[in-house]
Amino acid sequence: MEIEAAKEIGAALAIGLGAIGPGIGVGLIGAKALEAMGRNPEASGLVQTNMILGFAFAEAIAIYALVVSLLVKFV
């Protein structure tokens, strides 16, 4: 019974701590992209493309944390 509780806590910590970094990263990427677009509106297309790419990489890290969490919980 204690092992199941430890698995639950481990899974919660894995996804909880694993989502903090990407969450902060996505916020910073969005803020800086909007700031860059405000300063140089002509480059907004290039900035937006790079912003979306940065979002994708940051979210990939959160998906890794989700996979680890699921492995801890069910294996």
pLDDT at 1: 72
SS3 of residue 35 by DSSP: helix
Does the 2-74 domain belong in CATH 3.40.50.2300?
A: no
**Taking CA 40 as the corner, what is the angle to CA 38 and CA 46, rounded to the nearest 5 degrees?**
100
pLDDT at 57: 92
Q: Which amino acid is at 45?
A: G
Q: Where are the domains of the chain?
A: 2-74
pLDDT at 75: 86
Contacts of 7 (CB under 8 A, 6+ apart): 72, 73
66 neighbors 15 (Cβ within 8 angstroms): yes
User: Whole-prediction pTM value?
Assistant: 0.80
In angstroms, rounded to a whole number, what is the distance separating the alpha carbons of residues 14 and 53?
A: 25
Regions of the chain where pLDDT drops below 50: none
